[in-house]
Amino acid sequence: MTSTVLKPGATGADVIELQRALAAHNFKPGDLDGLYGPATVAAVVAFQNSNGLLADGIAGPRTLFALGLATDDTLPDSTGSVSVQMVSQMFPATPVRNIKANLPPVLEALVRHTLQDKTMVLVALGTIRAETEGFVPISEGVSSFNTSPNQHPFDLYDYRADLGNQGPPDGQTFCGRGFVQLTGRAHYQEYGPRLSTPVDLIANPELANRPDIAADLLALFIGDRQLSIKDALLHGNFQAARRLVNGGTHGLDRFVDAYRIGDRLIA
């Protein structure tokens, strides 16, 4: 097959090859007519759902690879088209020096974890804009959402079983950090060993704010939720995409703004 992406409306020999492969996998596209019409779209979507792929009806690298029509399932790399000037438009209130310093490790982490396609680049940058608009990894601040009146900082996190916290001082020790605001003993314990260079984040939680580690944590965290995030965005549900990362809608307006600006600028 010569095409790396086949979309609805396409015609020709590559579409016939796609239709044959779908039929061979028991997802019948109707006549093998070389027309990427509704029946072929439906068969592609059914195959994608069956194989844990994004059900967008487009036969991209991952779908073609799963069908045995491609030898590589790597998605197109958009990181090379991302510049400091471009990101500064996505982060209008952010000092350019911060973007210059921290954009490279973020893009490197996305490539390292095969999240270099345009959608995930936009999700990563939108997440940073929502969580730390200054484009620097930071620690979560004390607020009414994490600290009750006249109590020690982050007391409302201390006994959060969903975060894996076991009581004081877990709330403060494992407060949100980094570009993605990694929060809770369970997350620190899970992601430390999975870093490109593993570290003990339980013993050294402040390392989550080191730029290279913060970038790696961001990539790992959104990568674990990649399919669900893409499905939400496919249906235009920015709120659901944000909840998958943040657990709520904090910073939703900034996430959406950065995403939409980047969508226009990034190839």
**3 part of a folded domain:** no
Whole-number Å distance between alpha carbons of 190 and 221? 10
Q: Are residues 167 and 130 in the same domain?
A: no
In terms of domains, do 188 and 62 share one? no
Domain for residue 4, yes or no? Answer: no
Say whether both 143 and 183 belong to one domain: yes
Whether residue 233 is contained in a domain is answered as yes
Say if residue 1's pLDDT is above 80.
no
Residue 145 sits in the same domain as residue 124: no
Question: What distances in angstroms separate CA 266 from CA 69, 120, 125, 127, 224, one per listed residue?
Answer: 28, 12, 12, 16, 23
**pLDDT (tens digit per residue) in 46-78:** 999 999 999 999 999 999 999 999 999 999 999
Regarding whether 163 and 203 lie in a shared domain, the answer is yes
Residue 173 lies in a domain: yes
Q: Is residue 260 part of a domain?
A: yes
Do 151 and 133 fall within a single domain? no
Q: How many domains does the chain have?
A: 3
Give per-residue pLDDT as tens, 233-266: 999 999 999 999 999 999 999 999 999 999 999 9
Q: Which domain holds residue 39?
A: 13-66
Task: List pLDDT tens digits, range 177-229.
Answer: 999 999 999 999 999 999 999 999 999 999 999 999 999 999 999 999 999 99
Q: What is the pLDDT of residues 156-186, one digit of tens each?
A: 999 999 999 999 999 999 999 999 999 999 9
Residue 2, pLDDT above cutoff 80: no
Identify whether residues 62 and 170 lie together within a single domain. no
Please, which pLDDT band fits residue 91 given cuts at 50, 70 and 90? Answer: very high
Model confidence, pTM:
0.93
Confidence tier at 3 by pLDDT (50, 70, 90): confident
Q: List residues bridging with 6 in a β-sheet.
A: 59
8, part of any domain: no
One domain for residues 128 and 236: yes
Give the torsion through C-alpha atoms of 171, 174, 177, 182, to 10 deg.
Answer: -100
Cα–Cα dist 142/130, whole Å: 17
pLDDT of residue 267: 84
From 162, 194, 209, give the residue that closes a domain: 209
Using 50, 70 and 90 to split pLDDT, how confident is the model at 11?
very high
Asked if 145 and 202 sit in the same domain, the reply is yes
pLDDT at 24: 97
Q: What pLDDT sits at residue 142?
A: 96
